[in-house]
Amino acid sequence: MKHIFVTGGVISSLGKGLTAAAIGTLLERRGLKVTIQKFDPYLNVDPGTMSPYQHGEVYVLDDGAETDLDLGHYERFTNSKLTRFNNLTSGQVYQRVLDKERRGDYLGKTVQVIPHITDEIQNRIREIGEKSEADVVITEIGGTIGDIEGLPFVEAIREFALNAGSNNVLFLHVTFVPFIKAAGELKTKPTQQGVAKLREIGITPDILVCRCEKPLNKELRQKLSLFCNVQYEGIIEEIDVEHSIYEVPLMLQQEGLDDLICRKLELKTPSADMSDWQDIIRKLVTPKNQVRIGVVGKYVELQDAYKSVYEAVIHGGIANDCGVKIERVEAEDIEKKGAIKTLHGYGGILIPGGFGERGTEGKILAAQYARENNIPFLGLCLGMQIATIEFARNVLNLKEAHSVEFSPETPHPVIALLDEQQNITNKGGTMRLGSQPCKLTPESIAAKLYNSNEINERHRHRYEFNNSYREEFEKAGLLFSGQSPDGNLVEIIEVPRHSFYLASQFHPEFKSKPNKPHPLFEGFIKAALACDRNRNV
Ligand code: GLN
């Protein structure tokens, strides 16, 4: 089994996760089985309890694990089947070691970071390899080299390499080569110092992936090679992409990165056929159509809070050969300025998931605007709950209808706590999580889009549609087109005789890929495009 360890230097947000994912794309297309895991140095057991301000999106896997959003990149860029074992935090490592200590496994010994914590991390590296039966395990170490909290992970991969054999392990360091305007040139010093930090621990990178705004010339490459002790061929340029993150694998292939990795790890494979990927890029760069989608949320100023949603919308565009301009609408702005001013002109309106009351009234106005004006609408998780509340208030005339999450005393709790949640008090990992089966109503929009009557989708919620209101909603024309197999939980609602009005309790965005756009997003963008065209006539 071969291992690639990806570290990052100088600054955060260099796109280490994307680089790791893109390497996965290339290696898979060389016929290799790949798995990718992320080590996160923070002490939370998982990111499930963290706010989007702290952490960005929480990405949910089939098995219900709440994980880092980089796992979203891994799944979108590769076919690797990820589980909760693909995201390890310091919190989990310490929890495991402390459980063992209490059990008496270390009886008589002092429990220490080295070797006990670092051994535990190495165990996980071996376990993931065995479980996934991959040819290549890519491990991304979160954070930046030099962070105190990341040290045990870096030490662990150094120790791991010691015993694994030099042709089985490769260290790839993603670094930043800034362009200094005043000097008019790219500067290598931060990279030199970042790599020096890594070498202090005992790791010399085999490959330096240099994130930069401008191309690296030969002279700079030579300088980086000399000062960082990396062979010349190991200096790889990763320049800012022009159009889309999906260009990264093609860029790295052009730099010869996958060839180099395979040579260093002694993997004999044909080169990667990226023709379908090139077609995706063609559709992203020169699409035949264009549409604007308004995403109404409360974390719209954050780049990463709705990451998978934005990506899935773009995939929906790819499926329709359509460029999508995503415009983020602050829900509270709708409350202040009204729906017409804030939402006018969008081909479609999307309300993603969320927690907490702030912005809910604005979202309700957005759902009403879309429903009443025949504008394609897609609601996801909280988005479905919002659509339900809106329908109750404005169609059923239950003016005080609400979700008990936001108004525990509402006389019309159309969204209520899930039964299974009644006695749960702990917050971490206790929502209804992960992949669950769902039955679709034949002939519904959902069934037509999925081209199936049975689906599995990922969940992350505590509240649900309140069944005591079902009849009333149905009489008023709402269609419950998706339900749990026992019929107890509403999973999809649709408003018939509308250009497209569909909302799901699950999160379809987690299963969309650029080369396999999710059917609901494909249908939503198709409807948005048609709606835009009608408007332009
Ligand atoms: N807050 C809602 C719930 O817990 C919706 C969750 C979500 O959108 N992920 O049910």
Q: Which atom of ligand 1 is nearest to the CA of 354?
A: 8
- CA-proximal residue: ligand 1, atom 6 (nearest): 461
Side-chain-facing half-sphere of 455: CA atoms under 13 Å: 27
The percentage of residues in the chain with a pLDDT greater than 70, rounded to a whole number, is 100
Q: 532 to each of 290, 350, 536, 537, how far by Cα in Å?
A: 9, 15, 6, 9
Residues 6+ apart with CB under 8 A from 162: none
Distance from the CA of 438 to the center of ligand 1, in angstroms? 18
Specify the pLDDT at position 110. 96
Compute, in angstroms, the gap from residue 197 CA to the centroid of ligand 1.
42
Enclosing H/E stretch for 173: strand 169-177
pLDDT surpassing 60 at residue 481? yes
How far, CA to CA in Å, does 160 sit from each of 125, 135, 266, 278, 507?
Answer: 9, 17, 19, 37, 37
Sign of the dihedral through C-alpha 416, 420, 426, 427:
negative
| Non-local CB neighbours of 280 within 8 Å, separated by 6+ positions | 246, 318, 514, 515
Mean pLDDT of 224-235: 96
Distance 124 CA to ligand 1 centre (A): 32
Query: Shortest CA distance to 318 belongs to which of 270, 282, 363?
Result: 282
**Is the distance from CB of 465 to CB of 415 less than 8 angstroms?**
yes
427-446 confidence digits (pLDDT tens): 888 899 999 999 999 999 99
* Ligand 1 closest atom vs CA 356: 1
pLDDT at 301: 78
The number of angstroms, rounded, from the C-alpha of 346 to the middle of its chain's C-alpha atoms is 25
Residue 502 to residues 25, 425, 461, 507, Cα–Cα distance (Å)? 32, 32, 18, 13
Residue 536 scores a pLDDT above 60: no
What pTM did the predictor assign?
Answer: 0.94
Dump pLDDT digits (tens) for 17-30: 999 999 999 999 99
How many angstroms separate the CA atoms of 122 and 149, rounded?
17
For residue 418, the ligand 1 atom closest to its alpha carbon is 10
Ligand 1, pocket-test mutation among 462, 504, 510, most atoms within 8 A of CB: 462
Residue nearest to atom 8 of ligand 1 (CA): 353
pLDDT tens digits, one per residue of 276-301: 999 999 999 999 999 999 999 988 77
Interval between CA 499 and ligand 1 midpoint (Å)? 26
CA–centroid distance, residue 479 to ligand 1 (Å): 21
Which atom of ligand 1 is nearest the CA belonging to 355?
A: 1
Query: Exposed, middle or buried: residue 334 (CB in 10 Å: 0-12, 13-18, 19+)?
Result: buried
CA 158: distance to chain centroid?
29
CA 518 to centroid of ligand 1, rounded, Å: 21
Query: What residues are in contact with ligand 1 under a 6 Å CB criterion?
Result: 353-355, 381-382, 405, 460-463
Q: Ligand 1 mean position to 516 CA, how many Å?
A: 26
Atom of ligand 1 at shortest range from CA of 415:
10
Nearest residue CA, atom 5 of ligand 1? 382
pLDDT (average), residues 108-135: 93
Positions marked active-site: 381, 507, 509
Q: 429-443 in b/e burial notation, b at 16+ Cβ within 10 A?
A: eebbbbbbebbbbee
CA of 431, closest atom in ligand 1: 4
Answer for the pair 349, 293: CB distance below 8 angstroms, yes or no.
yes
Identify any residues that bridge with 68 across adjacent strands, giving them in sequence order.
Answer: none
Alpha-carbon radius of gyration of the chain: 25
Helix, strand, coil percentages in the chain from 3-state DSSP, rounded to 5: 45, 25, 35
In sequence order, the 6+-apart residues with CB closer than 8 A to the CB of 104 are: none
Q: Tell me the pLDDT tens digit for each residue of 341-362.
A: 999 999 999 999 999 899 999 9
Q: What is the predicted pLDDT for the residue at 45?
A: 92
Arithmetic mean of pLDDT, 136-148 = 95
The CA 61 to ligand 1 mean position distance, Å, reads 16
CA-nearest of 369, 371, 310 to 337 is 369
Cα 296 from chain centre: 18
Q: Are 270 and 28 in contact (CB under 8 A)?
A: no
Average pLDDT over residues 144-158: 95
Q: Evaluate if residue 537 carries a pLDDT over 50.
A: no
Average pLDDT, the chain: 94
Q: What are the tens digits of pLDDT across the range 298-316? A: 887 777 889 999 999 999 9
